[in-house]
A and B are shown apart, each in its own frame.
Chain A
Amino acid sequence: DAMVIQNPRYQVTQFGKPVTLSCSQTLNHNVMYWYQQKSSQAPKLLFHYYDKDFNNEADTPDNFQSRRPNTSFCFLDIRSPGLGDAAMYLCATSRDRTSGVFPTDTQYFGPGTRLTVL
């Protein structure tokens, strides 16, 4: 089945130790998103890619970086994790709004990576 995969599902890191979360998709969608979600809150968009075009949210800290080497893969790098970065990180994909299916197409989410910072 086509899907969005996130690895690892659980990640424990130490305060200040860089960490990378990965996301892959078999849907061939050209838009990929990274969200941060803290307990009982709405997902907060960090950034998204439209193909190779990177779109950063204005309030995303510089500590968060992303790479998209090809259509299938996208990475979230946290350069110096703080205790406040402990959260669930959700990756999602969609077709872009010019694909002819706008606005009907939903986002497809991965299972998430739960990050713990010690």
Chain B
Amino acid sequence: AQKITQTQPGMFVQEKEAVTLDCTYDTSDPSYGLFWYKQPSSGEMIFLIYQGSYDQQNATEGRYSLNFQKARKSANLVISASQLGDSAMYFCAMRDNNFNKFYFGSGTKLNVKP
């Protein structure tokens, strides 16, 4: 069964505006972690932000925040004040209690327009 779903293959956003990238997940484990990664055209996978299943507050890292809605099993990434350098693929991933695996969504390609 698909563990991570990203329903937006591509998104456009105007520079300096905020954008939300969607991610829903599926697990029966009470303990899990949710991660977002950025992958520019160079190919390197860059860790952005993390949310734990027991965290009471939404995670924030600079311009990145994670809108965590546990009951809905969603972990959307919000990028505020978009910059041209934010243009990249974004992957949502989950780590649960199943061995040491990380499960990736299919990704969202974000294009920031000047």
Contact = CB atoms under 8 A, between A and B. Distances in A.
Interface residues of B, number: 29
A111 B50 CA distance: 21
B31 A109 contact: no
SS class, residues of chain B in contact with chain A: loop
Interface string A93-118: 01011000011111111111010000
Given A109-B44, A109-B45, A111-B43, A103 B96 contact: yes
Interface of B: 31-33, 35, 37, 42-47, 50, 52-53, 89, 91, 93, 95-97, 99-102, 104-107, 109
A40 B107 contact: yes
Contacts, number: 72
A55 B53 contact: no
Contact of A48 (B52, B101, B104): B101
Contact of B106 (A33, A41, A97): A41
B99 A55 contact: yes
Interface residues of A, number: 29
A92 interface: yes
A37 B45 CA distance: 11
A80 to B, nearest CB: 25
28 contacts: A33-B102, A37-B43, A40-B89, A40-B107, A42-B106, A43-B45, A43-B91, A43-B104, A45-B101, A50-B99, A50-B100, A55-B100, A90-B43, A96-B100, A97-B95, A97-B99, A103-B31, A103-B97, A104-B33, A104-B50, A106-B47, A107-B47, A107-B93, A108-B47, A109-B46, A109-B47, A112-B44, A112-B45
Contacts of A76: none
A40 B13 CA distance: 19
Contacts of A55: 99-100
A103 B52 contact: yes
Contacts of B50: 104, 106
Contacts of A108: 47
